[in-house]
Amino acid sequence: MALSENEVLEGLAEIVAEETGLDAADVQNEKSFTDDLDIDSLSMMTIVTLAEEKFDVRIPDEDVKGLVTVGDAVQYITKAQS
């Protein structure tokens, strides 16, 4: 069964927190991965790889560039599930 946007956000926040040491509560939809969360490209690719596994979705490399904010990723993953 597909997860809701809130559930995806919660799961994504767990991955980001684990990778970066940030508090999961700081990982919010409006935050930019690079400007607000200070996530570099290697960490971003790690998060994408772990998210693909966790949510059983495929996020092609060319689509990762479009995931600027956490909300972008949450929407992408939510749609990709269905």
Partner 1 sequence: MTNVVITGLGATTPLGGDVPTTWENALAGKSGVRTLDNDWAETYGMPVNFAGQLMVRPDEVLTRPETKRMDPSAQMAIVATREAWADAGSPEVDPERLGSVVSSGIGGVWTLLSAWDTLKEKGANRVLPLTVPMLMPNSPTAYVSLEIKARAGAHAPVSACASGAEAIGMAFEMIQSGRADVVVAGGTEAAIHPLPISAFAAMQALSKRNDDPRGASRPYDTTRDGFVLGEGAGVLVLESEEFAKARGARIYGRVLGVGMTSDASHIAAPEPNGAGQTRAMELALERAGLSVTDISHVNAHATSTPVGDMIEARGIRGVLGGHSDQVLLSATKSMTGHLLGGAGALESIFTIKALQTRTAPPTINVTSPDPELEVPLVRDVPADLPKGQTAAINNSFGFGGHNVALVFGTDS
The residues annotated with a catalytic role in the active site are 40
* β-pair partners for 69: 32
Q: Which is nearer to partner 1, 30 or 58 (CB)?
A: 58
Rounded least distance, CB 20 to partner 1, Å: 6
Burial of 65 (C-beta count, 10 Å sphere; 0-12/13-18/19+)? exposed
Chain residues in the site for partner 1 (CB under 8 A) = 18-21, 42, 45-46, 49-50, 52-53, 58
Rounded CA gap, 12 and 46, in Å?
A: 12
CB of 51 to partner 1, least distance (A): 11
Q: State which residue, 25 or 42, has the beta carbon closest to partner 1.
A: 42
